[in-house]
Amino acid sequence: MLIKNGIIVTEDGRFEGGLRIRDGKITAVGTELEPEGEEEVLDAEGAYILPGGVDVHTHIDMPAGECMTSDDYLTGTRAAVMGGTTTVMDFPEYDEGETLMDGLNCWRKKSEGRAYCDYGFHMTVSGWDEGMKEQLVRMKEQGITSFKAYTAYQDGIGVYDEQLFGILQEMKELDTLLCVHCENGDVLRRLQRQLREENASDIRNHPKSRPNLTEKEAVSRVIDFAAMADVPVYIVHVSTKEAAEVIRQAKQRGQRVYAETCPQYLLLDESLYDLPGFESAKYVLSPPLRTKADQEALWKALADGTIDAVSTDHCSFRFHGQKDLGKEDFTRIPNGTPGIETRMELMLEYGSRRGIPLEKLVSLLCTEPARLFGLHPVKGTIRAGGDADLVIVRGDAPHRISAGTLCQDVDYTPFEGFEVTYQIQDVFVKGIQAKRKGEWVMEKPEGRFLFCR
Ligand code: URP
Ligand code: ZN
Ligand code: ZN
């Protein structure tokens, strides 16, 4: 197939031209490609051709306290592809008493034959003893080269400082990368307890129990631990101006610190915790939404390179039937919000409105995340030899984001009513057309597990 007459955008620039797809790969990219024989041609006149999006922070088919995320691999990856994302990286977990391999096997089973796009894993490490060194080696042999630790939730999935430092030291041994959820678990647990005693049903107690400094303190600590262990580190879902500043300073010192933020922290703010009734539960996620001043700082951090990637932290729970488990107690509201399907359109729109060039947005949404996790240049860019993961997007198609038109398996979107002019029209996953003129056309889930190196 030949896609022609589009504006091809990569992190390096843009030009009018086209590309050829054969056997799932891009075989040629150029300005004057002509159809060969009976070759099928897609005319992308007036549209941008971008690399398929790479979302390196999703929670699909994940248990969370009393429920499971509403999206499984079939619905979650279909939603990703509909929204222009053609690679996801998810976080397998394991139960107490199980091994990392048990967790990996569980996630391989959830995803095998049920993903519409390729997927990789960052393995969660929710404890540490010396015996785990061996388990990490096994993980690397299985194609897992990035891991995840939580500095909160120590009564469950989180780790204490000594454990965190042990994991970082092992990252050095294995030449692998640790992603860290940064909040001070002790402080927020105590604040949560106190606020629950005062008024358990007040959702505003969710952000109150997680002030900006709980994130900043943890980010600062994790960066220092990484320096002492002499390893790079990836900070997930940065939400505050204070944390962004700590990361900026570390980068300025030359430390290998990488960071992501998410559309919800760039586009939504804490006023959403003042909605009537139980409506604010839609926005209960951790870290919580912050102030407009935090948003401004995050946009600046995107533009100046402090933040390297925009992922979603897609973690979908239904408003009716799941979020309402916490009606009487804000600490029981399942934490997380959906975003896998809306990331690309929202970021292209609101990034452009902020004056961020499309090339930089492609870097944040596709290329840099692929590079950080060893998937580039097969994923995350447009080049001969790369996977034909492609998105054709118009920049002149005004519409509103609405849960009613999204296919992610959840009964709301936190971005309801957001106006966008960028629209994902066509999507190719390894050369197979998944979306055509806005409609889903992919027959079966052909996504594969990505063995990361
Ligand atoms: O509230 C959130 N973000 N839930 C998903 C798990 C996490 O902390 O990343
Ligand atoms: Zn997190
Ligand atoms: Zn997450």
User: Is residue 406 in a domain?
Assistant: no
| CB of residue 285 inside a 6 A radius of ligand 1 | yes
pLDDT at 66: 87
What is the extent of the structural domain holding 280? 52-372
Would you say residue 315 lies in a domain? yes
The predicted pLDDT at position 412 comes to 98
Does ligand 1 come within 6 angstroms of the Cβ of 314?
no
CA of 285 to the centre of ligand 1 (A): 6
Q: Is residue 156 part of a domain?
A: yes
CA of 353 to the centre of ligand 3 (A): 27
Please choose from 69, 239, 315, 337 the residue to mutate so as to test ligand 1's pocket, defined by most ligand atoms within 8 A of CB. Answer: 315
Atom of ligand 1 lying closest to residue 150 CA: 8
E-strand ranges in 109-175 read 118-121, 123-124, 146-150
The answer to whether position 453 is within a domain reads no
Please tell me the total count of domains within the chain. 1
- For ligand 1, whether the C-beta of 337 sits within 6 Å is no
Of all atoms in ligand 1, which is nearest to the CA of residue 236? 9
Q: Would residue 221 count as lying in a domain?
A: yes
Q: Is 323 in the pocket of ligand 1 (CB under 6 A)?
A: no
Ligand 2 center–CA 286 separation, angstroms = 6
Residue 185 lies in a domain: yes
Is residue 349 within 6 Å of ligand 1 at its C-beta?
no
Q: How far is CA 65 from the centre of its chain?
A: 21
What letter does residue 335 receive in the DSSP assignment? P
Sequence-distant (6+) residues with CB within 8 A of 1 are 20, 21, 22, 39, 40, 41, 42, 431
* CA-286 nearest atom, ligand 1: 1
**Tokens 């961020």 map to which residue?**
356
For residue 409, being part of any structural domain is answered with no
Closest CA to 128 of 165, 98, 173: 165
User: What confidence score (pLDDT) does residue 130 get?
Assistant: 85
The ligand whose atoms approach the alpha carbon of 317 most closely is 1
- The enclosing domain of 303 has a CATH number of 3.20.20.140
Residue of the nearest CA to atom 6 in ligand 1? Answer: 336
Tell me which residue has its CA closest to atom 2 in ligand 1. 336
Inside any domain, residue 355: yes
Establish whether residue 215 lines the binding site of ligand 1, counting it when its CB lies within 6 angstroms of any ligand atom.
no
For 219, phi then psi, to 5°, come to -60, -45
What DSSP letter does each residue of 339-393 carry, written as one string? -TTTHHHHHHHHHHHTT--HHHHHIIIIIHHHHHTT-TTTSSS--TTSB--EEEE
Ligand minimally distant from the alpha carbon of residue 58: 3
For ligand 1, atom 7, which residue shows the shortest CA distance? 286
**Rg from Cα positions in the chain:** 21
32 Cα–ligand 2 center, Å: 46
Q: Which ligand is nearest to the CA of 55?
A: 3
Question: What tens-digit pLDDT sequence spans the chain (453 residues)?
Answer: 999 999 999 999 999 999 999 999 999 999 999 999 999 999 999 999 999 999 999 999 999 988 999 999 999 999 999 999 999 999 999 999 999 999 999 999 999 999 999 999 999 999 888 889 999 999 999 999 999 999 999 999 999 999 999 999 999 999 999 999 999 999 999 999 999 999 999 999 999 999 999 999 999 999 999 999 999 999 999 999 999 999 999 999 999 999 999 999 999 999 999 999 999 999 999 999 999 999 999 999 999 999 999 999 999 999 999 999 999 999 999 999 999 999 999 999 999 999 999 999 999 999 999 999 999 999 999 999 999 999 999 999 999 999 999 999 999 999 999 999 999 999 999 999 999 999 999 999 999 999 987
